[in-house]
A and B are shown apart, each in its own frame.
Chain A
Amino acid sequence: MTWIHDHILTVVLFIPLAGAILIMFLPKENKNGVRWAANLTAFLGFLVSVPLFFWFDSSVGEFQFVEKVEWIPSIGANYSLGLDGISLLLVLLTTILGFIAILSSWTSINERLKEYYVFLLLLQTGMLGVFMTLDFFLFYVFWEVMLVPMYFLIGIWGGARKLYAAIKFFLYTLVGSVLMLLGILALYFINRSQTGVATFDIVALQNLNIPVNLQLWIFFAFFVAFAIKVPMFPFHTWLPDAHVEAPTAGSVILAGVLLKMGTYGFVRFSLPMLPDASSHPMVVNLMITLSLIAIIYGGLVSLMQKDWKKLVAYSSVSHMGFITLGIFTLNPNGLSGGILQQINHGISTGALFLIVGIIYERRHTREISEFGGLSNVMPVYATMFLIVAMSSLGLPTLNGFIGEFVILQGAFEENWVWAALAVTGIILAAAYLLWLYQRTMFGPLDNPKNKNLKDLNFREMMTLVPLIILAFWIGLYPKPFFRILEQPVQKIMERVRPAYYAAHPDAFGAPARLNAAAQPSASLETEAAAVRSAEKRAGASR
């Protein structure tokens, strides 16, 4: 058990890769064998990641489950993994969505099955690596590795314009990552000249002091990479193409996890490493403006789409705008709301893409005008779609509302105009989702091709039910999630706005509050966890 506990991240990270290698050795003809192997691997990957949630001690500010092995000593690159609250949530989101994505492909993919599952599992390892790693060099490796399987997933199993979409996706992201590499190298060399130590260690790089001008340059290098990934307006045009052409599982992963890498980048690197640039009024204004444009513009464009999947894709632009808005309010409310909203968006939009995928598999079209009255033949489907739509448009008691409300509060704290403009995005979300729902589910069932559609089978229900449960959980009892985020948010705040907590002693993540919260909960269990992590830290430094 202790071995598992100390190496759990490595285990979680490499289970998909191991599964992928295993599948390579399976005979191509044995389609069901391949399917079972892939599904079991993904499910195992998810199961192994569950203990993370329980072993994680949210009262500890440092990274947990840390593993560190020297990799390329000459340049100071290490194989080092670790989690804080932010990455913990994203890792869990990745393992669950990864499993669901693989489960959803059971019948929809019938060609070149083996390669398909191998790519999906490789992608899974790549994404987990991005969120887990504490080494900037390793981070870059995972970031790039992940591009390749995604490129093939779109390019081989995609729709009509799959090559165009795949190449666009690949080149666009590559442009961003090249600039990011420059940024990483700049930080690396600045650190070496300041401290004399050559390291890519993310924690070490978070404590640099860099002149503002230089920070701004590096910020914009990172900005391009992350903004493309998010995607922020006006770097978003790859998204509708990639989403529409990608197979369902690809869309789920793309929207659910890949987009989060951009916002994760801002939270993990831009804010703590370049605090003066991130809080520079010019940067803040730019980021907020782009976020607000994305919210409203994405909503408006989404409203008029005739393609079901494209509508959901553009809605992502709008929703991701909320997340970047929250992050760049640079206050605890906005930050925690934005980080939580990453998870919410993964759940809601992932589920929306599953919904589209289910109907596409039956009818092989996504034209909204082809549908109507589906609730007559597919009542279970209609009900689940309704819940998912409500979670996406921010109905209270469901997850989207919690995130949006807390973000709005953060925005309001800085400037009421931001909040007022962002609220229109919520109205637009109601408009485009309800209109979509009405056109597809309500009305007469007049298209004869829809008359004999089958309702959801058990497997399809199992792809949606976990997401719906999560949506209700976060909507009804988000407390554990906020607790997990409290320490990391405090860390970021102290870098970006060191004076904030002095002025707001009651704010989320304020040291005074954390201490007060830690006292009564100092049970045996947390003590044990503290001892464990202390030991581990001692071990790591040895």
Chain B
Amino acid sequence: MWLIPILPLLGAALNGLWGKRLPLRGIAAIAVGAVACSFLLALIACLSLGDATRMEVYFPWIAGADFQVDFNLYLDPLSAVMSLIVTGVGLLIHIYSIGYMSGEKGVHRFFAYMNLFLFFMLTLVLAGNYLLLLVGWEGVGLCSYLLIGYYFRREDAADAGKKAFIVTRLGDLGFLIGLILLYTTFGSLDYLVIFPEAAQFPVDSDGSGTLTLIGLLLLAGAVGKSAQIPLYVWLPDAMLGPTPVSALIHAATMVTAGVYIIARSSPIYVQAPEALMVVAVIGCITALYAATIGILQTDIKRILAYSTISQLGYMVMACGVGAFGAAVFHLMTHAFFKALLFLGAGSVIHAMGGEQDIRKMGGLRKKIPVTFWTFLFASLALIGAFPFAGFFSKDEILWRTFTSSTGGGRLLWVLALLTAGLTAVYIGRLVFLTFFGESRADPEVASHIHESPKVMTIPLIVLAVLSLIGGWIGWPRFLGGSNHFERWLEPALAAPAAAHAAGEESLEFLLMGLSLAVAALGVYIAYYLFLKRREAADRLAQASGGIYRLLLNKYYVDEIYRFLFVKPLVMGSTEVLWKTLDVGAIDGAVNLAARTTRSLGNALRKIQSGNIRSYAGWVVLGALLLIGFMVTAAS
């Protein structure tokens, strides 16, 4: 099992050390080969898993301190699904990258980082304890930093990379303390030690219990990694990296690590309903909030970035209502269709010669048909149209939210439904503006539009097929299926005791119809505003002045953060701490002491004049003082 993560590491090492001397073909063969092998191994491991789980311990890691952690890997249905997603989607994206990155400088570095990323991501999902998980957790952050900054020559890309790393690390602050608290509570960081013990804990209900605190601290890490409010700001900027990176890291895998950690810790969360409640609320608000921003963005990748944040919110919310299985289900289908959307967007950008503004596109349907059709499939999956993959997972989440016994389940459901409508609007707008209507591109650019090479379109087609059928393994019962997927996951996840009232099938049917109707309405609105009556959109924008500007500027959150945190930090550190306190006060005091000593010395030097008469005068003065002292002491 350890081969699964190690193979990409080997690929990374080969390409990193000797890639410079290899031709593109060789580099690609190493990188793709490594991922393909580890995908096959993961597949074999999963198929041979059956109902069992496997824990493989390799060697003690930190064993000397008052503290025992091993290098161990853990395979259960949850980590099996995750590693299949990571290696499978990763493989397709690697293949796609061969076409996308050809002609760039330093391709060997790119592939080395991509392989390294997969190594850390697999470590994250396969780890058998929280500390090893942290290794992967920080490692993927590092790779994301390197890959965003891959365009060395772009200053803003490097800025975005740094922002991503630091903002996510802010969340890790809580995560790290959470781990320490876990250790002090359970005396171990091993899943197999912690989870059975956690189940013995009384359910925290007063909100002050240890488990609730652990849950909230872990959530802090998840919020950073999975780009939830208030730490989501790094993800849209992260889109400055190459598009395959956005697809792999910032859509399909790394950002879902937060969801994974919540699902993985489900035995802790079910004992801490207050923490779960917070999880649900954060997820729900993020989903809605990001969707509203997505509507007005004009950069094709940024729209998808906000869409990712919104969909991650869905998953987090699902965890929050105790539907961990549904969350992982959506995680999987989302990995398919969102990777496809990004790769499709990459193909569009490729065709348009680097243009990312959808206002300058249009009418691309005929010119790049493969991209169009696959993109359409992915969009339908995203809005949850029957029978695309997204339908099953999204509907499952909505249904579980509606029936959840957590307080406010109904309200969450309404907001989530609203989000579904908005999702349909923004993705509809994206599709209509990009692929339909008249071409708004410069004639110069328009004449060069061409379909991408096969090495790029084949991964698109495979992902399109997955976006269609990927949800069928979770075919719900009320539609005559048996929901294989969640049953299979069940042993790995804890379920809140009696959290879900058994709903009526007819009600479930009704709600499903409702969510389909909302999605259809959203698409129609997009069609009406952005294709049929463009001027109506402009009028609406003018009429809603303030709100329009608020949304267009993403609620000014970046500006607010800069004003509230970044600026005081920079000013305070430079002016107050460094220049005033450090150089001025502390070092000033040190130098003052030195200066005082010197001037004292200078003053005393004057006494040593070498003049006999003044010496005699001092002697007399001293003698007089002495006598005076003795006289007063005697009396």
Listed in ascending order, the chain A residues whose CB lies under 8 Å from chain B are 168, 171-172, 234, 236-238, 297, 300-301, 303-305, 332-333, 336-337, 373, 375-376, 379, 383, 386, 390, 395-397, 402, 405-406, 408-409, 412-413, 416, 419-420, 423-424, 426-427, 430-431, 434-435, 438, 441-445, 476-483, 485-486, 504, 506-509
Contacts and interface: CB of A to CB of B under 8 A. Distances in A.
A187 B139 CA distance: 50
Nearest to A397: B135
Contacts of B183: 409
Interface stretch (B150-158, B290-298, B346-354, B438-446): B150-158
A423 B181 CA distance: 14
A238 B135 CA distance: 37
A296 to B, nearest CB: 10
Q: Which of A386, A420, A442 has the most CB of B within 10 A?
A: A442
A509 B67 CA distance: 11
A483 B134 CA distance: 24
A463 B572 CA distance: 37
Contacts of A479: 60-64
A333 B66 CA distance: 6
Interface in B127-155: 131, 134-135, 138-139, 142, 145-146, 149, 152-155
B64 A485 contact: yes
Interface stretch (B49-57, B169-177, B243-251, B493-501): B169-177
A382 to B, nearest CB: 9
Contacts of B574: 304
A406 B184 contact: no
Nearest to B187: A506
Contact of A442 (B139, B158, B184): B158
Interface string B558-599: 000000000001101110011000110011001000100000
Q: Which 9 A-B pairs rank lowest in CB-CB distance, beginning with the nearest?
A: A482-B64, A508-B66, A442-B158, A237-B587, A396-B135, A300-B573, A304-B574, A438-B158, A304-B573
A409 B135 CA distance: 17
A443 B152 contact: yes
B577 A297 contact: yes
A478 B64 contact: yes
B370 interface: no
A209 B177 CA distance: 39
A444 B153 CA distance: 4
B482 to A, nearest CB: 41
Given A237-B586, A304-B570, A397-B139, A442 B166 contact: no
Contacts of B74: none
B64 A442 contact: no
B569 A300 contact: yes
B180 interface: yes
A438 B159 contact: yes
Contact of B64 (A171, A304, A405, A486): A486
B502 interface: no
Q: Determine the main DSSP class of B at the interface with A.
A: helix
Given A430-B165, A434-B162, A444 B177 contact: no
Contacts of A168: 590, 594
Contacts of B572: 300
Nearest to A404: B176
Contacts of B159: 438
Contacts of B180: 408-409, 412, 419
Given A301-B582, A434-B165, 11 more contacts: A301-B577, A303-B573, A395-B142, A412-B184, A419-B180, A424-B173, A427-B170, A438-B161, A479-B60, A479-B62, A481-B64
B600 interface: no
A373 B152 contact: yes
Contacts of B131: 396, 405
A171 B158 contact: no
A481 to B, nearest CB: 7
A423 B65 contact: no
A396 B66 contact: no
Contacts of B172: 427
Contacts of B169: 426-427, 430
A376 B152 contact: yes
Contacts of B570: 303-304
A481 B64 CA distance: 8
Contacts of A444: 152-155
Q: Which of B176, B577, B587 has the most CB of A within 10 A?
A: B176
Contacts of B155: 442-444
A405 B67 CA distance: 11
A426 B578 CA distance: 19
A423 B173 contact: yes
9 contacts: A237-B582, A238-B590, A301-B582, A376-B152, A416-B181, A423-B176, A443-B152, A444-B152, A482-B63
Contacts of A408: 176-177, 180
Contacts of A305: 578
A478 B64 CA distance: 8
A242 to B, nearest CB: 12
Contacts of B176: 405, 408, 423, 426
Given A408-B180, A438-B149, A443-B153, A431 B577 contact: no
Given A237-B590, A332-B66, A423-B173, A396 B134 contact: yes
